[in-house]
Amino acid sequence: MARALQAASGYPRLLGLASGLTLPLAFAPFGAWWYAPLVVALGAASWPALTPRQAAGAGFAFGAGAFLTGTYWLYISITIFGGAPPALSIFLMLGLVLIMAVYYAGTAWVVARLAPGDARHLLWLLPAAWVTMEWLRGWLLSGFPWLSLGYSQTDGPLAGFVPVGGVYGASLAVALLGGALIVLVRVPRWRMPAAVILLAVPAAGAGLGRIDWTEPVGEPLRAALVQGAITQDRKWLPEERAPTLALYRRLTLAEADADIIVWPEVAVPAETSQVAGYLSAIDRIMEARDASLLLGIMDYDEDLGGYSNSILLLGPGEGIYRKRHLVPFGEYFPVPDFIREWMRLMSLPYTDTAAGPERPELLEAAGEHVALTICYEDAFGAEQLYAFPEATLLVNVSNDAWFGDSIAPHQHLQIARLRSLEAGRWQLRATNTGITAFIGPQGRLRALSPQFETAVLRARVQPRTGLTPYAATGNWPVVGLCLALLAAGALAARRRR
């Protein structure tokens, strides 16, 4: 590693690109959580020795490499299943890569600007700048928090920081270790403090991981998750509707003892008014069983003036949840009218889906209040905090069939695991083709379905109450600390100049 760090001063962009290309190895399905601090060190080692402009180039190369290999599956969803021309798919995919790379360029520029020629400051400037960047790209321009460092830590000792500081708390710990690795190699006089950090941070994370931040409430529930495994290329064919409805009905009727059953995102390939009789029949069955069914479906809402991606509650009680955080260029199109018209002429999707209210009322399923998310929404942890402490369970419905047999479903499942860890709640996650899973309050997988197979996953889940520190405070303690460190660094740099 020492040779690699020394080489960074001579080949910063090349090393930035090479290290960025390997960043996804730290995430699922590869699971090399220990690699995350190392790749941060390799990517950022050269930044203090460069001019801010040169450092920005190296940071840009790192970000471009990371998202080239980490989000290549966008091509699968846009072209193979979305039907868009390959040229358009490549344009959109590279556009996202370039936008994400700009964030890393800005991070490197800030570090080089505030700590010119002095690697010691990486112990605090690197974590502060990195986490601030991740936080910004998690909400700015709709946000895309994929590949935030904290997500890689679900199976490592740094997972203990998640209930305290959320995903960015874990990211802060990873970046701190990365800075300590650089200082350990590059600054002999500071090797002792760096070594202490490298030992103390994982130990602290492991200690925090032993704390049970929430507590059981009520009796365990018998839950079932239905995975229909309807491939995306056949899901909306007219001739597939009747077999799909029959499949989900048959699998659900077989779960006579379940207290709560969950179907995937848009499991019903129709709008609610088109299958009203079918839904009424299922509702009567669930009422008779005193059980709750949560199912994904498209629903037209007159108040919103459009169709919404929704979760419908059947059985005792009633209600509907409408997806709030929509996918850019998937569920809404932030483009001028003339481009939208061109998309229509090219037979591409061009109509926006209606977004639900930002703070919806919680649905009550099987006697428990549930915090609901649909697919991509579970990547935005802070947007779910409104539901606590009332919500005792998490439910996520997804359709990762859009990404085929790629790394995307595994990355998405890892994100869902971190949401359970942040909230200290069980999560019921039903997906169309996988990966359907029960996730425990510590973020551990308690049951898992095979991909691309019709399956029903069963488990007993324990509702929980109480608040983790993160659920009580959100991102602001971690983000505020990082902003304060950057402000102090800027003040110190100004005094030096």
Q: What confidence tens digit (pLDDT) does each residue in 134-157 have? A: 999 999 988 999 999 999 999 999
Beta strands in 149-303 (DSSP E): 215-216, 221-227, 260-262, 292-301
Looking at residue 7, what is its pLDDT?
Answer: 43
Q: Binning pLDDT at 50, 70 and 90, where does residue 253 land?
A: very high
Measured over the CA atoms of residue 108, residue 34, residue 75 and residue 337, the dihedral's sign is negative
Rounded alpha-carbon distances, angstroms, from residue 424 to 151, 205, 373:
16, 16, 16
Residue 158 has pLDDT above 80, yes or no: yes
Chain-wide mean pLDDT for the chain?
92
Q: What is the pLDDT of residues 270-281, one digit of tens each?
A: 999 999 999 999
Query: Burial of 310 by CB count in 10 Å (0-12 exposed, 13-18 middle, 19+ buried)?
Result: buried
Mean pLDDT throughout 30-42?
97
Looking at residue 2, what is its pLDDT?
Answer: 43
Rounded alpha-carbon distances, angstroms, from residue 79 to 64, 88, 432, 467:
21, 8, 19, 42
Looking at residue 327, what is its pLDDT?
Answer: 83
Looking at residue 349, what is its pLDDT?
Answer: 58
Q: From the candidates 375, 377, 422, 482, give the one annotated as an active-site residue.
A: 375
Q: Binning pLDDT at 50, 70 and 90, where does residue 17 land?
A: very high
Looking at residue 322, what is its pLDDT?
Answer: 96
Looking at residue 107, what is its pLDDT?
Answer: 98
Give 118 or 438, the one with higher predicted confidence: 438
Q: Token pair for residue 284?
A: 């009567």
Q: Binning pLDDT at 50, 70 and 90, where does residue 4 land?
A: very low
Alpha carbons 401 and 451: distance in angstroms, whole number: 10
Alpha carbons 223 and 213: distance in angstroms, whole number: 23
418 within 8 A of 284, measured Cβ to Cβ: no
Give 174 or 490, the one with higher predicted confidence: 174
Looking at residue 66, what is its pLDDT?
Answer: 98
Closest by CA to 77, choosing from 91, 64, 95, 89, is: 89
Q: How far is CA 274 from the centre of its chain?
A: 33
Q: Which fold has domain 216-467?
A: Nitrilase/N-carbamoyl-D-aminoacid amidohydrolase (3.60.110)
81 within 8 A of 232, measured Cβ to Cβ: yes
Q: What is the pLDDT of residues 363-386, one digit of tens each?
A: 999 999 999 999 999 999 999 999
Mean pLDDT throughout 75-96?
87
Looking at the chain, the whole-number percentage of residues with pLDDT higher than 70 is 93
Q: What is the pLDDT of residues 404-461, one digit of tens each?
A: 999 999 999 999 999 999 999 999 999 999 899 999 999 999 999 999 999 999 999 9
Q: Is 482 a catalytic residue?
A: no
Looking at residue 55, what is its pLDDT?
Answer: 96
Give 280 or 346, the one with higher predicted confidence: 280
Q: Is 375 a catalytic residue?
A: yes
Give the three-class secondary structure for 240. helix
Give 250 or 347, the one with higher predicted confidence: 250
Q: From the candidates 265, 331, 368, 422, give the one annotated as an active-site residue.
A: 265
Alpha carbons 116 and 49: distance in angstroms, whole number: 6
**Which residues have a Cβ under 8 Å from the Cβ of 459 and sit 6 or more positions away?**
223, 438, 446, 447
Residue 335 has pLDDT above 80, yes or no: no
Per mean pLDDT, which range of 166-170, 247-251, 336-340, 438-442 is the poorest?
Answer: 336-340
Mean pLDDT throughout 109-113?
96
Give 342 or 101, the one with higher predicted confidence: 101
Cβ neighbours of 185 (radius 10 Å): 19
Residue 338 has pLDDT above 70, yes or no: no
For CATH 3.60.110.10, the residue range(s) in the chain are 216-467
Q: Binning pLDDT at 50, 70 and 90, where does residue 333 land?
A: low
Residue 346 has pLDDT above 80, yes or no: no
